Chains A and B, each alone.
Chain A
Amino acid sequence: MDGKQAVDILLVEDNPNDAELTLRALKKSKIANTIIHVHDGEEALEYVFARGRYEGRDINSQPRLMLLDLKLPKVDGLQVLKEVKADPRTRLMPVVILTTSKEENDILRSYELAANSYIVKPVDFDKFIEAVKELGLYWLLLNVMP
C-alpha cells in the first residue's frame, strides 16, 4: 500500500474469514477503492498515529472511515475507539463498529465513546453484503464531513 495516498477504509478485523468476506462485500459494492486491513487493535493504533510498523506515514492523511471490530487481540476495539476519539487529529474520523456482539453493554459503551454507528454482522451473506453496501454508501458518499 502506498502510505501517502489517501485511504478510503481502514478495516480492523482479526478473523481472516470475516475480513475476507468484508473485503469482498466492499469490493462487490464498488464504493471503496483503497482498503487497509489491520489484524489487531495495536496495529490499528500504530496505523492511525503513524508509529511502530507505520512510522513515517503521513499522519494528516487519515482513512475516510474506520470499520472496527470489538473483540480484538492485544488492544480491544473499545480501547482503540477511545484513543482515536480522544486525539484531536483523529477524532473526526467516522468509526463504525462492525461486530457480532448484540450485547446491550457493548452498544452503550461504543456510543458513549462516540462511535458513529454500530452494526451487527448478519450471518446471511446476502444481508451482510447489503449492510456493508449501505454503510459504505452512507459514510463514504452521502455523509458530509466538516
Chain B
Amino acid sequence: MRIRSLLSLMFRLALALTAALLIVMSVLIARSADENRDAGILAKIRITLLERLILRSEIYIYYTDRAVNQVYERSSQLEKLLAELGKNKTGEAEASILGEFVRENASINSLFSKLVTFMQNSLPRQVTSDTWGTYEKLLFNQILFKAYVLSDDAQRLESINRARLDVINRGIAWLYASTLFVLLSMIVLSYFMIARKLATGIELLGAGMVRIGEGDLDFKLPLNTGDEIADISNGINQMTTSLKLSLVSIKELERRVADRTEELQNSNRELEAFAYSVAHDLRAPLRSIDGFTKILEEEYEQVLDDEGRRLLKIIRTADQNMDALIGALLEITRIGKTSLSLQRVDMRTMATTAFSQCATPEVLSSFEFVVGNIPDAFADPLLIERVWVNLLSNAVKYSTPSTVHKIEVDGKEYDDMLVYSVTDCGVGFNELFVDKLFGMFQRLHDARDFQGSGIGLAIVKRVVTRHGGTVWAKGQIGKGASFHFSLPGRAL
C-alpha cells in the first residue's frame, strides 16, 4: 500500500472517530442533563410531599386556615412539578408509576377537599384531633395511606432515575476507555504501517546508495514494497543502469584512446628507427664516394687537369654536405628517442660556453657578446646546450656580413615560465616567412651566402617543445633578428 493513501486513511479514520465520539458524547451529556433535571424535580416532589404531610399532620392536630391554604399551595406546586416531569417521561414503567401517582394525588386532593369542606361546615368550633369524629378520622387515615403510596411512588421514580443516571455515567466511562483504546490502536497501527515502513525504506535506500556509491553498479534496490520508496528505488535502479552503460562506453573509449596512442607510439618509434637506420645506411655509400674520390685525386693527379680536379672537389663537398645533413637528421631523431634527464642548468655559463664553440676564436673576437643576468633553468643539459649552440651559431653566421657584430643573450622569469632570447644585429629575415623558420630543411637565405643544413632551428624547436616550452622569432631584413624560447619554470 502506498504511504500517501495510508496517511490519508489514518487521517479520515481519526476524523470519523472524533465525529462519532462527539455525537455519542453530546447525546450522553444531553441525556445526563435530562436525568439530572428530573432528579431535581423528583427531589422537589419528595420535599413537597413531606411538607404537605407535615402540614396535614398539623391540621390533624390543630386545624387552621393558614395550614389548609399551605396544603393547597403545596398541592398545586406538586401538580406543576408532576406536569413538568410528565413531559419527559417516556419509559413504560415510569409512565405507569407516574399515572398512578397522578391518580393517587388527585384522589388525595379530592379527599382533602372533602375533609376541609367537612371541617369548615363544623365551624366555628375549635377542631383538634381529639374532637374529630369517626368520619374525619377515616378520611384522614385514607389520605395518610395514599400519601404513603405517593411517597413510595416518588421513591420508585427516584430509583429509576438513579439507575438511568448510573447507566449514562457508565456509558461515559466506557466511552472514555474505548476512545483511549482506539487512540492507542491508531498510534500503534500508524507506527507499524507508516513510520516503520518509512524508516526501513529509507534505511534500505541509504544502504543501497552507499553500495552504489562504492561503485557496485550491478546492485539493485528491492521493489517489492509497492510504495513511494519502491518508486525512488526504481528511479535509482534505472539511474545505475544508465550509469553503467555510460561507464562501459567511457571504458571502451579509454581503451580505444589507449590503443590508438599505443599504435601511434609504435608507428612513431618505427618511423624513428627507420630514419635512424636509413641515415646510417646512407653513410656507407657516402664514405665510399668520398674515399674513392680522394684516392682518385691523389693517385691520378697527373692524369687530371684543373677542371677534373675542380669537379672532384665539388663531389667531395656535396658528399660531405650530405653527411652533415644526415648527421642533423640523426640528431633530430635522437632528440625524440632519448628520455629527458632534467636537472638545474646554469644557463649563463652554458650560453657563454656555447658561444665560444660556434666559430673560430678569430671570428668570435670581432663580436661583442653580452649575457644578461639570466635565470637558471630546469632542463636536460645536453639537449639545451644544442639550443644555445644552434641559436648562437646562427647569430654569428648571419651577423658576419653585417657591420655591427653584437650578440645579446637575455632571460627573464615570468609567473611559471622562463623566457630566454638571443638577439643579433645581422642580416635579419622577412617576418612573412617566420612560420618556415623552424621547419626542417627550410632556409630563408641562399645556400651560397650562408652554409648550413637548414636543420638547426628545427632542432631548437624540437628540444624546446620536448621540454614543454615554445619558440618564436622576430626580425627585419637588414636590422637583425631575435630568437626566443620559453621553458617551464618548475622545481627550481
Contact = CB atoms under 8 A, between A and B. Distances in A.
B79 interface: no
Given A101-B280, A102-B330, A18 B287 contact: yes
Interface in A20-77: 21, 24
A101 B273 CA distance: 13
Interface of B: 276, 280, 283-288, 290-295, 319-320, 323, 330, 338
Contacts of B323: 123-124
Given A102-B330, A123-B320, A21 B287 contact: yes
A101 B320 CA distance: 18
Contacts of A87: none
A124 B286 CA distance: 9
Nearest to B323: A123
A123 B286 contact: yes
Contacts of B292: 17, 21
B291 A21 contact: yes
Interface string A122-134: 1111101000000
Contact of A17 (B280, B288, B293, B319): B288
Interface of A: 15, 17-18, 21, 24, 100-104, 121-126, 128
A128 B292 CA distance: 12
A100 B288 CA distance: 12
B290 A123 contact: yes
A124 B320 contact: yes
B320 A18 contact: no
B276 A123 contact: no
B319 A100 contact: no
Contacts of A103: 276
20 contacts: A15-B284, A17-B285, A18-B287, A18-B288, A21-B292, A24-B295, A100-B280, A100-B283, A100-B284, A100-B287, A103-B276, A104-B338, A121-B287, A123-B283, A123-B287, A123-B290, A123-B320, A125-B291, A125-B294, A126-B294
Contacts of B284: 15, 17-18, 100
Nearest to A101: B280
Given A21-B288, A104-B338, 10 more contacts: A15-B284, A18-B288, A21-B291, A24-B291, A100-B283, A103-B276, A121-B287, A123-B323, A124-B323, A125-B291
A123 B280 contact: no
A15 B293 CA distance: 17
A126 to B, nearest CB: 7
A104 B294 CA distance: 30
Nearest to B326: A123
